[in-house]
Structure 1
Amino acid sequence: MSSLEHTRRQRGFGLVEILVGMAVGLVVTLIIYQVMSTFEGVKRSTTTGADTQQNGIFSLSTIERDLRAAGWGIPTADIMPCTTYFTYISDGTLNGPVPNFPGAPVQITDGGTAAGASDSITMLWGSSVRANVRNALLQNVTANPTGTAASNLQPTTSVALSTVDGFVSLTDDIGNCALTRITASVANPASPGTVILSHDPGTGTATKPVYNPPANYMTAKGWPASYSTNPRIFDLGSLMQRSYYVAAGSLMSQDYFSSTTQAQIANNVVGFKAQYGISDAGSQVVNSWVSATGSWAAPAVLDRKRIKAVRISVVVRSPLKERPPLGASACVITTTAPESWPGGPTIDLSNDPDWRCYRYRSFETVVPLRNVLWANLS
């Protein structure tokens, strides 16, 4: 083999061939990058859309479930007309009235129109199947002080009364209603077949609150001194008061008759709105929707009977922040504030400077209030 042939056989790629190969490789790399970038964008949108839908549906269904239970085991306003409701809770840090106690199946608190503001809603229900049955007392009740024989409750019958730790509402013809938790139940020697119910005060904890106030609190807060005009109780059983509200980008709930611990229901919830569906007096047909403002911020007894349904909406944002368009410094993925429902109030999110970098979706529904339907029939 000649030296010339040996040299030709060992010669590699030339400069031009290397440049052409690099150019082809660069083009292929750019194509692959573009495909992956497009795929990643689709993946992000799909994933965030699924997360948003999951959070929204779960939030809506959770609130709807409790709204459908609202009012069960609670006496109607016709049976127990309360002009003033007295409540108390002690959980180790809080000693005062039960926060947001509605005294009715549902109560909406309007959050206003400020940026980032949301409504809240509170539902109340009990476990008693005889909540509308009045149980007269054998004696007048000295409400202050509690824990004495004169303040014990002596119902005329013990049929279907809740056991110890159940709640009753103590009232008379004056219209004062006191929420009372039963702490003991013993046979009444003066009335065979009936019981004597105690409601002693105490100090509670966050996991086991106490609901009967001490004597000095009752005096300071103007609780009724006695119940002497047809005193009676209504059995409520186990009570549940649950509030829903938005805080720090999450839907939160808080109970007040099992514990006072706050619980996170779903994250990336940025807005909650609610309205009452009301009827005319004596009707069962919802003919208008009102926010909890003006006279509906604290509805009178007759107006509460007109509430037949609640419309609710939760606004959920995508969990991932979208990138600004190429060459742009600001996000434009969302340009207008989301609506709670078609034609409803918008959710002002301008308190977050990056609110336009997220996608939003509203979930709304209408929930009939079954217990309220039993009132307002005349």
Structure 2
Amino acid sequence: MTGPLHGVRVIELVGQGPGPYGAMILADLGADVIAVERPEVAARVQRTRLATNPMMRGKRSIALDLKSAGDIATLLELTDRADVFVDPFRPGVCERLGIGPDEVCRRNERMIYGRMTGWGQEGPLAHTAGHDIDYISLSGALHLIGSAGQPPTPPINLLGDFAGGGLVLAMGVASALVERFTSGKGQVIDAAMVDGAAMILGPFFSASTSGFWGERGTNHIDGGAHFYNVYETADHKWISVGAIEPQFYAELIDRLGVAQDALLSADKQNDRALWVAAKVRMAQVFAERTRQQWEEIFEGSDACFAPVLSPSEVASHPHTAARGTVVTINGVVQAQAAPRFSRTAANAGVPCHSGEHSVDDIMSSWS
């Protein structure tokens, strides 16, 4: 046995980012995930090459034509044997195909039917198109991200697609599996990225409305302060500092050799009137040495310092190397599964190609 979800059977209709990511997390946690791909997509795969798509890791994959009555019947037979179904389409699509929650859950009352959308199953925007940037815009999250006096900065598609989407979907599935032990019944999960992003925003709703949180880029942990920021080094690389607490800030300026600097002294840390000038001064200091030199100066310190690594550098850093934070699978670096479990280890599995497996093999293994 490996992974806390070992024995859980998942049918995933392959869609865009958040659905496959959520199903990947389930596979990392030990679930047996069957990714159902369109035949035309599976036919384009170059099977002479090793599979490297992290979204397909630890999964098996079959090709089914959802416009074919025969393939729909096959899919329904699989759902009769499954625990979880992942629907990545807009509201109503699966219903029109004859594989909506009413039909699937009627046939299998223990089914956990996860629906992954941007806007959710209801509401004025439920049937309209969108992407991560739109969902985090409506959630209030995008408004808070960026520099003072500048437009909001899209944080690639981490916040909506992955954190507020796939991760929330996986959390919902795991929660419904736990509840099923008591009730013996499945349920439908409406996982909407706009909701997930808003949930992750958490305390910033009250902080913004109460006046505790100021305009974008002027606060102590959004780039407004000199002690919580990123700075360029002499070799045009970057470092980060997050010395919020006074004892950590004291160590930061001590290691920098600027404890007596009028702008950066410990007693002026939280003087907001000085923050803009203090950022300029700190940038000047960090620009005097290379990133490696600063790493050596701050090694073993509590100054809340870290180098800003590119994804290709993560594997070689002493800390991430010691923890195995990333792994190389089929020649491609990927993040290892998280979190860590003491008995039932999660694991980043080997990816498969779309449509690599046969329906007969899946049916046999799920008999």
Normalised TM-score (structure 2): 0.27
Q: Which structure has more strand as a fraction of its residues?
A: 1
Q: Which structure has more helix as a fraction of its residues?
A: 2
Between 1 and 2, higher relative CO (CA 8 Å, sep ≥ 6) is seen in 2
Normalised TM-score (structure 1): 0.26
Larger radius of gyration: 1
